[in-house]
Amino acid sequence: MIPTSNAKAQRFFSVISGLWVGSFITIGFLVVPVLFSSLGDRQVAGMVAASLFKATAYIGVALSGFLMVMSNYLVRHGHQRYRLIRWILLGMLACTISAAFIIIPWMNSLRDQALFAGLSVRESTNAILFGRLHGVSSALFMVQAVLGLVLVWRATKNAD
């Protein structure tokens, strides 16, 4: 039988991880595509999407750190399934940090350089680099989404 405090910690872990993963999947696969299809200006849609992804990344860094602390607590209290969950969280944290502190700022810098020259980033000399960074960013997001789904699946598993 699981002590009450550990059961509450596991439920809290499941709720927080589910909300977190659900929110960034909703932003990435629903909100951003709707932005691009609804707004007439792709540049404006891209800037709004970049702001959303930046906020999502910062929240992701904080929540993945918090969930890692919680999973360490649960492992110390005998819940062995959280050993794998810590690795999943570490992978998600690596994706989030790469996006938040490397890819997104680099893309924003390229966009700002193009705007300073009076161009959209697609018309600038950095269009190819921007496209590649966008591809890397998308791949990181996909990896994070898959890891997030695995995280929620594992966190909501009934038995150790």
Q: Nearest CA to 54 among 105, 1, 127, 115? A: 105
List C-alpha distances in Å: 100 to 7, 12, 135: 33, 26, 15
Give the pLDDT score at 6: 82
Compute the distance between CA of residue 66 and CA of residue 72 in angstroms, rounded to an integer.
10
Compute the distance between CA of residue 111 and CA of residue 8 in angstroms, rounded to an integer.
46
Domains of the chain, by residue range, sit at: 7-155
Compute the distance between CA of residue 21 and CA of residue 152 in angstroms, rounded to an integer.
8
Give the pLDDT score at 110: 93
Per-residue pLDDT of the chain (160 residues; tens, 9 = 90+): 445 678 888 999 999 999 999 999 999 999 999 999 998 888 888 889 989 988 998 999 999 999 999 999 999 998 888 999 999 999 999 999 998 899 989 998 999 999 898 888 888 899 999 999 999 999 999 999 999 999 999 998 875 4
Give the pLDDT score at 159: 54
Biggest alpha carbon distance in the chain?
Answer: 66
Q: Is the pTM of this model over 0.85?
A: yes
